Amino acid sequence: MRRSVPDASYEEFVRASTVPLLRVAWLLTGDHHAAQDLVQETHVRMAARWASVTRDDADPMPYARTVLHRLHVDRWRWRSRRPERLVDVVPEGAGRAGDPDLRMTLQAALATLTPRQRAVLVLRFLEDRTEVQSAEVLGCSPNTVKSQTRHALARLRELNPHLVAELAPARTEA
């Protein structure tokens, strides 16, 4: 079987998409190495379908994000869950918050959630997707996304009341 090698546009896409995909993958997994593996597997899957993904000059990034999220869902759905490892240093560029203490607090708070809850929050609030779009990526119903979002936010409020207090001024300023 002969496989076609993606063209130069694929190489350009890999260079441009690695950091944004790594940021999302790191937020989903909480582990830098697992995030790198997830992004690498996403790029491998993209290479295999590059011609069809870029047909009609379509933007490949939404497809790449969908692949990344589905790979992540597959990992926590089918593999035995290993304990998460928290790190002392946040990888460079992994968070958007300017305050390092706030980033560490957010990281610890996300680590208290289940993988599905974390995925829902990343899709809904980091990637600013609708409930329907998030449901499509996760392969579930919009009502499941709503309930998982509600449960995740309630858990964050319950386990991290200081985080809510820290983020409240940021929400009013924005």
More confident of the two residues 109 and 33: 33
More confident of the two residues 161 and 61: 61
Question: Quick one: pLDDT band at residue 143, thresholds 50, 70, 90?
Answer: very high
Residue 9's nearest CA partner among 58, 67, 45 is 58
Domains of the chain from N-terminus onward? 1-95 (1.10.1740), 97-174 (1.10.10.10)
pTM of the model: 0.53
Q: Tell me the pLDDT tens digit for each residue of 96-140.
A: 446 677 777 777 888 888 888 988 988 888 888 899 999 988 889
